[in-house]
Amino acid sequence: MTDKKVWFITGAGRGMGVDIAKAALAAGNAVVATGRNQDAVAEAVGRADDLLAVRLDVTSPSDAEAAVQAAVDRFGRIDVLVNNAANNNAGFFEELTPKQMESQLSTTLVGPMNVTRAVLPVMRRQRSGHVITISSSAGLTTGYEFGTAYAASKFGIEGWMASLRLEVAPFGIHTTIVNPGFFRTELLTPESTHFAEAAIDDYAERRAAQIDWWTAQNGRQSGDPAKLAQALVAIAGEEPPRRRFLAGADAIATAEQKVAELQADIDFNRERFVSLDV
């Protein structure tokens, strides 16, 4: 009997995806590392006998199907899927173009759906598997300005994954939502973060302050992505795996604030809420 698993990781050409791929390999697993640029993925992760670098644009269902088939052709199965690929269109909602909103949702919400839809038939046949999807503390937050697009995609992840868990559990497939706080990844670099294209005078002063703040945070985030990668390897070895993993003290603080505000709403409006029944 072996603990070796086959990992399928999206967004493994840069940032946290590289750390996850390296951690999974170091733990003795086989890894299918995917990204838009196959050569960049191979260079970033490095050489390994149990590594397969595959091109994958998560916004393309056909890419997802081809990448999954390549993984099965090489390793015969997929045990752990890590939906990690993401982008960030930051800005006030009115200043974000419809194209930017579409880019956010197609990459960060629909993208993981495309890949998971391609992987699930493999896991169903196995009657086993583990889908780990990287959400964010933005998926739990009580709201933050300048983050409408990103938060919308992550809130979507939350509802989709929570419901998917119930649908696939009878097939022996587990799901885990990961909510990282501020981790020192490449999400805030110019390659991954794009600011709103439109400019409305009423937002000008606040927009300038927000851009200055977010730009200054790049490289100063408190979270260590290598430690988070190690934590994901540990989670994948749990039996059964946990449903949610709050990563970072700031993520815990966000979750606690959300719980407190929901409880306050319930306490304040309980009588009115229950009086609405037929």
Read off the pLDDT of residues 104-150 as tens digits, 9 standing for 90 and up: 999 999 999 999 999 999 999 999 999 999 999 989 988 888 999 99
Task: Please state the rounded mean pLDDT for residues 224-251.
Answer: 94
Residue found by looking up tokens 């939350």 in the block: 158
pLDDT band per the 50, 70, 90 thresholds, residue 187: low
As annotated, the active-site residues are 150
**Tally of CB atoms within 10 A around 86:** 27
CA–CA distance, 206 with 229 (Å, rounded to integer): 35
Backbone angles phi, psi at 89, to 5 degrees: -105, 100
pLDDT band per the 50, 70, 90 thresholds, residue 272: confident
pLDDT at res. 11: 96
CA–CA distance, 202 with 37 (Å, rounded to integer): 40
How crowded is the C-beta side of 158, counted as CA atoms within 13 Å? 15
Question: Which residues, including other chains, have CB under 8 Å from residue 12's CB and lie 6 or more apart?
Answer: 18, 20, 21, 33, 34, 35, 41, 44, 45, 53, 84
Task: With a cut of 50, say whether residue 156 has pLDDT above it.
Answer: yes
Largest CA distance in the chain: 65
pLDDT band per the 50, 70, 90 thresholds, residue 219: low
CA–CA distance, 181 with 253 (Å, rounded to integer): 9
Residue found by looking up tokens 């990282």 in the block: 180
pLDDT at res. 197: 84
Residue found by looking up tokens 């990961």 in the block: 178
pLDDT at res. 173: 98
Average pLDDT, the chain: 92
pLDDT at res. 142: 81
Say which range, 77-81, 146-150, 159-163, 212-216, has the weakest mean pLDDT. 212-216
Task: With a cut of 50, say whether residue 186 has pLDDT above it.
Answer: yes
Backbone angles phi, psi at 167, to 5 degrees: -75, -35
pLDDT at res. 1: 33
Pairing of strands 30-35, 51-55: parallel
Task: With a cut of 50, say whether residue 269 has pLDDT above it.
Answer: yes
**Tally of CB atoms within 10 A around 229:** 23
CA distances to 89, 101, 173, 199, 209 from 94, rounded to whole Å, are 13, 11, 40, 9, 17
- Taking each helix axis as running N to C, give the angle between helix 225-236 and helix 16-26, from 0 to 180 degrees, rounded to the nearest 10: 50
Task: With a cut of 80, say whether residue 48 has pLDDT above it.
Answer: yes
CA–CA distance, 204 with 253 (Å, rounded to integer): 30
Task: Please state the rounded mean pLDDT for residues 253-276.
Answer: 89
Task: With a cut of 50, say whether residue 227 has pLDDT above it.
Answer: yes
Task: Please state the rounded mean pLDDT for residues 255-268.
Answer: 93
pLDDT at res. 213: 82
pLDDT at res. 241: 94
Q: Do residues 84 and 34 lie in contact, with contact meaning Cβ atoms separated by under 8 Å? A: no
Read off the pLDDT of residues 162-176 as tens digits, 9 standing for 90 and up: 999 999 999 999 999
Percent of the chain with pLDDT over 90: 78
